[in-house]
Structure 1
């Protein structure tokens, strides 16, 4: 039989040898001898079972790094577990000594790697918050443990289902400890016929909200007020208030996982904006500005400090810099030379407590508004102090501020 012209030829096997891909061992994988150690399990049993302290992972990391001097940092609500964790790590890792850092820890911005380094520690475990300061920027190796908490997320979803109309759009958010519950609630609500969204303000985790950073623009103008809401899972209001400030039109419900209660929450957004607008207006008359760089952990960002000083000096304002770990009205009253203040520490200090200070005390965002570097929009107050962006130069991750003025 004659060969058909232009008939496609049968593919031939490759003539060259294909290199076999070998996977490098995963150093982060916890070895069975740690996971299955009955003595470690017995030691962990003295900690509350609902709290995930990631003890196995921490022991593995400490052994890998051959750390000998360990620092533990945690918010006050977890301090009671510090001695137990200290004993566990000394017993099952290479650690010889443990320091529990007792200074107040408001959030991940307070991670105190500099304090740990000053005490001669070669490893820091920070509990209860997410990784805001990159691990490449800390002065000692650092492990962030979220301490995820198991809750009755079915009850949270059921409470909301009985409260809002079926088919409502729900934005589910919360603090990082309840990250697992956020996604469980979304799944439960979707099964009940709701449209659910877990919003994200990068680089934070989906659904995660900080006191100074929250997803914005969640209100859908095409829907009615009764057809959309946020469900916030947290045991307090501080983080929820950030989400309400960023989305003032959106109805808010908070589920308290300890009391197992769902409450409708409110925030006096217009009153807050009025107070902050007055502070900004009063500060425009100031000739001398005191500029505060927060020294509580990594609250203060030197890169933002330099920009603030440049903005003020370019406009003929006199400035002086003060380093403070905590900011109180009485402390600032000791420096009457300042006509106004700018604090690079926590924006919520200005929002929540600014009206208690004798002189106007602005956040970096408010200073940018004062000097006209960003416009003021009706119904908008930026809550993006740790959100990545190209134009929010007052933010820790805005522009090139992520370098934190340290040359990274």
Structure 2
């Protein structure tokens, strides 16, 4: 039965709920009650204290995901108590030692300083990434990251990862493994999500006792660009990465979607043991359904890439400021888009949501730069699709040269390495080419004529219709023609003309922004099409030199729930 609306839908938040915020999904689950001993074991209190004292950290930020925040206060108390007890025991040891009094006295000044702990309650980006930005706000020397992590290399601060080991039924895992791989000679890589990684060795020993001979236990490494991200691989795969397709994977706990896409496209098969399954039969059916849905998702990603091949304007989303080499991949993406004759705009955002990116209707597609887990964004709720740097390379290729091999990757370090290899191969080919073969000098005037001729050809091209999107392909670039070489600062200046001045001049009211004498289409669009210009546009803008005397008005005061404007109150 379809329910008819008796009133128009609410398109804005009521004033009484303006400060209310919906709770995350993790907040609706009941808090797991743990004793002090369980807290010490799960959050590795003793190991954390030892690492802090050994590395002489003085200001430590404790980063918790949302589902672990209820335990953060108790973890803080246990760490603070343990650090004080350790300091006190060291002081007693110093007092009882007379032979090293002079040397210890110089170290006592530093060791006696208390360690300041700070809980990071909300992350700037994804909870799997180390939030160096929030840690630097509290002047932290290091970060202790709790829970599952993407293990992306950080740029500035040292990090201690506490994976918070979870309990696991080994017998149920072994039973599910035997049902998935009845052949004792099957080549299987056994791995687990980081909270369950400590159980891999125990499960491997049980399987070896049952007669399995080709089961490899993958341990954790901090290398997202590995054949199996952040995991070790068998020796045969290290020598020949293509041999990974001969191996199957058994993963304990449901992995992130980006890891599933990567492994499904590289390995023979993937079996997942969901730790939240009620019994083994449920786990087997859930694993089969997950593998099937992952293959369908891989096809949908390729369909999304092909639908963006004719996008003229791209938006680049910086979704991290802590992952190492994110500036390198940004420069690489900008060069790629410019070389394809398209435009790109840069946006630095926090946590992505549809409302943020929907404000820019001129953008035809988005590229997200983040960690290898958060870079995969489901674009169903977004106004325009969001893809990864790897998928951008496919989107910018022509239909004749694009080749879909079925492989998918999330870490952008591989993209940078492949680009470096192609640049090296191109340089080698140019060196081996005979002198003067296909190369011709060109003066600045000839270059300018060629560029003008190319622009005129682009404007005179017949309209092209894209059958995938059902729209005409827009190739007009009235502002300027993108140069083939990105980042060149030198410009050809015609002889006899005065050089352009860089002096700032004030524009008259109502004047459009112009570049090289051409009115900006973006400014023209905003001036003619959009009726709402932002907050405060309902007031007339006045300048001092246009008025006789100064115009001073009392501004708004108060908080977001209710402002006071002069003598009146506005909610």
Normalising to structure 2: TM-score of the pair? 0.51
Structure 1 residue 269 displacement after superposition: 4.5
1:50–1:149 CA contact under 8 A, matched in 2 = no
Q: Is 1:197 aligned to 2:216, yes or no? A: yes
Query: 1:285, 1:207 → 2: CA distance?
Result: 32
Counterparts in 2 of 1:51-70, with a 5 A limit?
Answer: 51-70=41-60
Structure 2 stretches lacking a partner, 5+ long: 1-33, 84-112, 232-236, 422-571
Given candidates 383, 408, 420, the residue that maps to 1:381 is: 408
**1:311 alignment counterpart:** 336
Please identify which structure carries the higher strand content: 1
Does the C-alpha gap of structure 1 residues 260 and 210 become closer, same or farther in structure 2, counting only changes over 3 Å? farther
Q: Is 1:74 aligned to 2:64, yes or no? A: yes
Counterparts in 2 of 1:42-53, with a 5 A limit?
Answer: 46-48=36-38, 51-53=41-43
1:288–1:338 CA contact under 8 A, matched in 2 = yes
2:152–2:371 CA contact under 8 A, matched in 1 = no
Counterparts in 2 of 1:127-138, with a 5 A limit?
Answer: 127-129=146-148, 132-134=151-153, 137-138=155-156
Please identify which structure carries the higher helix content: 2
Does the C-alpha gap of structure 1 residues 359 and 305 become closer, same or farther in structure 2, counting only changes over 3 Å? same
2:153–2:324 CA contact under 8 A, matched in 1 = no
Structure 1 stretches lacking a partner, 5+ long: 1-43, 221-227, 395-408
Given candidates 380, 393, 415, the residue that maps to 1:368 is: 393
Given candidates 190, 201, 214, the residue that maps to 1:183 is: 201
Query: 1:258, 1:51 → 2: CA distance?
Result: 24
**1:92 alignment counterpart:** 82
**1:320 alignment counterpart:** 345
Q: Is 1:283 aligned to 2:308, yes or no? A: yes
Structure 1 residue 362 displacement after superposition: 1.8
Larger RCO: Structure 1 or Structure 2 (Cα < 8 Å, ≥ 6 residues apart)?
A: 1
Does the C-alpha gap of structure 1 residues 260 and 393 become closer, same or farther in structure 2, counting only changes over 3 Å? farther
Normalising to structure 1: TM-score of the pair? 0.70
1:51–1:149 CA contact under 8 A, matched in 2 = no
2:253–2:272 CA contact under 8 A, matched in 1 = no
Does the C-alpha gap of structure 1 residues 79 and 300 become closer, same or farther in structure 2, counting only changes over 3 Å? farther
Q: Is 1:101 aligned to 2:120, yes or no? A: yes
Query: 1:279, 1:316 → 2: CA distance?
Result: 21
**2:140 alignment counterpart:** 121
Any idea what the Cα deviations from partners look like across 1:152-187, whole Å, max 9, x if unmatched? 324311332255424133221221222221222222
Given candidates 163, 166, 171, the residue that maps to 2:189 is: 171
Structure 1 residue 316 displacement after superposition: 2.2
Does the C-alpha gap of structure 1 residues 173 and 207 become closer, same or farther in structure 2, counting only changes over 3 Å? farther
Structure 1 residue 375 displacement after superposition: 6.0
1:241–1:267 CA contact under 8 A, matched in 2 = no
**2:557 alignment counterpart:** none
Structure 1 residue 208 displacement after superposition: 7.3
Q: How many pairs does the alignment contain?
A: 338
Query: 1:239, 1:382 → 2: CA distance?
Result: 8
When Rg is computed on C-alpha atoms for both structures, the one with the higher figure is: 2
